[in-house]
């Protein structure tokens, strides 16, 4: 029977659609001219690649001051949002898994709601809340907003991990005289850690590239990297620096994903042993 080439053609088209834009971002980080945004001069000659944009990033060039400030702000917000989301999300998932009641049904609905709500609606709602509470928009409002929509993803990821959790392990620990906190940190938490790490990575990724919600709750001088980039894409001569920073962020994300896989694999081998 002759094999059809259609599935391979569809797969190739999807791969091109997904990865060619990423490769272009990496390539444009080495463009020599930020004004023309071209690898060719006026005569049509290839001008080669340049690493000056990476040099400007690592040398703290004054021309990239606002861009780097927004970048570090994004990393700070994403890191703190991930930390708080993992703590709150894990606690929420454990409560949903352990207790069954009407209150927990409402709890589950409230957790699930940010997953289906449009970002613009979440942003407007949070802005109205901050205005009603007379809270000035800035770093803390951005952090609260990011934790709000990141928690749901952590909860769902940890809940999926809890579906395969054997509750008899907790009962056995209690029978052997272990206390509640000892059982949690030495029995439950190590088993749940791959799910928590996966949820944390998802929360970090969602936080660091959010534009819509952040644009509603940020204040003067608190532009995150995505919101700042969106404002400079049409007029900045230093646009290739954005591509260079994006490439570094891509490498960092890939490293985090690899670390997550390494932790999960080590945990599986430990369980088998």
Which of 17-21, 130-134, 167-171 is least confident? Answer: 167-171
Helix crossing, 139-162 with 189-208: angle to 10°?
A: 140
Q: Is residue 225 in a domain?
A: yes
The whole-number pLDDT of residue 36 equals 66
| Other beta carbons within 10 Å of 199 | 29
Q: Which residues contact 35 (CB under 8 A, 6 or more apart)?
A: 237
Half-sphere exposure of 207 (CA within 13 A, CB side): 34
Q: What is the DSSP letter of 221?
A: T
Which of 152-156, 167-171, 202-206 is least confident? Answer: 167-171
Q: Which residues contact 272 (CB under 8 A, 6 or more apart)?
A: none
Q: Is residue 166 in a domain?
A: yes
Closest-CA residue to 107 (of 142, 145, 159, 147): 159
Q: Is residue 206 in a domain?
A: yes
Closest-CA residue to 147 (of 128, 120, 122): 122
> Looking at the predicted structure, is the pLDDT value of residue 273 above 60?
no
Q: Is residue 251 in a domain?
A: no
User: What does the alpha-carbon distance between residue 22 and residue 45 come to, in Å, rounded to a whole number?
Assistant: 25
Phi-psi region of 177 (alpha: psi -120 to 50; beta: other; left: phi over 0): left
Section 211-217 average pLDDT: 89
Q: Which two tokens stand for residue 220?
A: 């003067």
Q: Is residue 247 in a domain?
A: no
Residues paired with residue 205 on neighbouring β-strands, in sequence order: none
Residues of the chain above pLDDT 90, percent: 13
User: What does the alpha-carbon distance between residue 107 and residue 194 come to, in Å, rounded to a whole number?
Assistant: 24
The whole-number pLDDT of residue 81 equals 94
Backbone angles phi, psi at 176, to 5 degrees: -85, 5
pTM (predicted TM-score): 0.78
Q: What is the DSSP letter of 186?
A: I
Question: What total of structural domains would you count in the chain?
Answer: 1
Q: Is residue 267 in a domain?
A: no
Q: Is residue 13 in a domain?
A: no
Residue ranges of alpha helices (H) inside the chain are 6-28, 52-58, 65-98, 102-116, 119-132, 139-162, 168-175, 180-183, 189-208, 212-217, 225-232, 239-272
User: What does the alpha-carbon distance between residue 86 and residue 153 come to, in Å, rounded to a whole number?
Assistant: 9
CATH number assigned to the domain comprising residue 86:
1.10.3720.10
Residues spanned by the domain of 138? 66-232
51-85 per-position pLDDT tens digit: 888 888 777 766 677 778 888 898 899 999 999 99
């Amino acid at each position: 029977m002759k094999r059809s080439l259609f599935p391979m053609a569809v797969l190739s088209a999807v791969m091109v659609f997904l990865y060619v834009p990423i490769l272009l971002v990496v390539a444009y980080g080495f463009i020599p001219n930020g004004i023309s945004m071209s690898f060719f001069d006026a005569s049509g000659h290839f001008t080669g690649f340049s690493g000056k944009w990476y040099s400007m990033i690592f040398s703290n060039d004054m021309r990239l001051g606002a861009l780097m400030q927004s970048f570090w702000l994004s990393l700070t917000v994403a890191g703190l949002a991930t930390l708080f989301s993992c703590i709150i999300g894990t606690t929420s998932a454990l409560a949903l898994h352990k207790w069954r009641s009407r209150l927990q049904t409402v709890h589950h609905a409230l957790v699930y709601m940010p997953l289906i709500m449009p970002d613009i609606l979440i942003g407007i709602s949070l802005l109205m809340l901050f205005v009603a509470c007379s809270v000035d928009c800035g770093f803390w409002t951005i952090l609260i907003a990011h934790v709000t929509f990141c928690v749901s993803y952590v909860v769902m990821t940890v809940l999926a991990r809890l579906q395969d959790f054997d509750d008899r392990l907790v009962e056995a620990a209690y029978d052997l005289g272990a206390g509640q906190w000892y059982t949690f940190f030495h029995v439950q938490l190590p088993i749940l850690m791959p799910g928590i790490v996966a949820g944390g990575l998802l929360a970090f990724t969602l936080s660091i590239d959010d534009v819509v919600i952040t644009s509603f709750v940020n204040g003067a001088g608190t532009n995150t990297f995505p919101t700042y980039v969106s404002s400079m894409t049409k007029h900045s001569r230093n646009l290739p620096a954005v591509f260079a920073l994006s490439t570094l962020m891509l490498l960092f994300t890939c490293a985090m994903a690899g670390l997550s896989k390494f932790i999960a694999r080590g945990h599986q081998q430990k369980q088998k042993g």
